[in-house]
Amino acid sequence: MNQYIVDTEHAAKGLINAIFEEEKKLLEIEEKYAKLSAIYNILKMQYLGSDDPTDIDDPEVIEKLALMSTFSSVHNLPSLGQEVTALKRSLANKALSIDALSGALLQIAKQGISTVYGGLSSCNEGRAIGLQSLKTVVWEARNQANHCEEGNPKRNVKECFEKLKTDFGTKFDITIEPTKSKAKSILDLLEWKNYENYLRDLESLLG
């Protein structure tokens, strides 16, 4: 086994485990968010009604306002709304965390190519990922993840992801959200869901 793989095993395993744990937490938050937001929307609709009251001198409006006030107190709508907002924020934060961890794993893999071969051209091709080689996808996906915030990917990155989009769908379209990392989508595509799968691919590239 290549010494680079041996020396980075602990870090790679740690990242894969961390990604798994963060994804598990993300799914838990998504489930809770879906349930609470559905409840909140139903209650808010019942609370507010179909029209906002405007004529506060109208007896029917006065009665409606009173009922709305009571309903809000009983169901604590403001608190529920704040919880839904907080969960939505947590979802975004978890997604960013997962992308960052995924990008770090791609960085380790890409750095292995640089360390062993000094660049991409001399590296083993690895298995086919659609119409591209594993080494190209790893290299360009790392570049996309590292520089996505600039929103201006280089030509090789564009070409790589255009082919990925053709082969595997619009989730790899970097023109839709040009500043979003695609690192986790790449890891899912490569099936790097455990160290054994990652190791198999790294050995095929680095020997």
Query: What pLDDT, in 10s, does the model give residues 167-177?
Result: 999 999 999 99
pLDDT at residue 154 is higher than 70: yes
Question: What percent of the chain shows pLDDT beyond 70?
Answer: 81
Determine the Cα–Cα distance for residues 59 and 197; give it in Å rounded to an integer. 70
**Least reliable range by pLDDT among 17-26, 86-95, 129-138, 163-172:** 86-95
Determine the Cα–Cα distance for residues 130 and 193; give it in Å rounded to an integer. 19
Confidence of residue 165 (pLDDT cuts 50, 70, 90): very high
**What digits encode the pLDDT tens for the residues 83-106?**
888 888 999 999 999 999 999 999
The angle, 0 to 180 degrees and rounded to 10, between the axes of the packed helices 59-75 and 3-48 is 150
Number of domains in the chain: 1
Domain span at residue 151 reads 3-202
Determine the Cα–Cα distance for residues 89 and 10; give it in Å rounded to an integer. 31
Count the alpha carbons within 13 Å of 193 in the hemisphere toward its beta carbon. 6
Cα angle value 93/99/105 (rounded, 5°) = 140
Cα angle value 189/194/195 (rounded, 5°) = 115
Contact 169, 108 (CB under 8 A): no
Please check whether residue 207 lies inside any domain of the structure: no
pLDDT at residue 80 is higher than 90: no
Neighbours of 125 (CB within 10 A): 12
Please check whether residue 27 lies inside any domain of the structure: yes
Given this model, what pLDDT does residue 61 score?
Answer: 47
In the chain the first and final C-alpha atoms are separated, in Å, by 6
Q: Sign (positive/negative) of CA torsion 23, 29, 31, 33?
A: negative
Confidence of residue 69 (pLDDT cuts 50, 70, 90): low
Confidence of residue 51 (pLDDT cuts 50, 70, 90): very low
Please check whether residue 56 lies inside any domain of the structure: yes
Confidence of residue 48 (pLDDT cuts 50, 70, 90): low
Report residue 182 as tokens. Answer: 């695609």
Please check whether residue 186 lies inside any domain of the structure: yes
pTM score of the predicted model? 0.79
Residues 6+ positions from 73 with CB-CB distance below 8 Å: none
pLDDT at residue 60 is higher than 60: no
Q: What is the mean pLDDT of residues 99-115?
A: 97
Beta 132-133 vs 128-129: how paired, if at all? antiparallel
Given this model, what pLDDT does residue 72 score?
Answer: 55
Q: What is the mean pLDDT of residues 44-68?
A: 52
Mean pLDDT, rounded, of the chain: 86
Cα angle value 167/170/172 (rounded, 5°) = 75
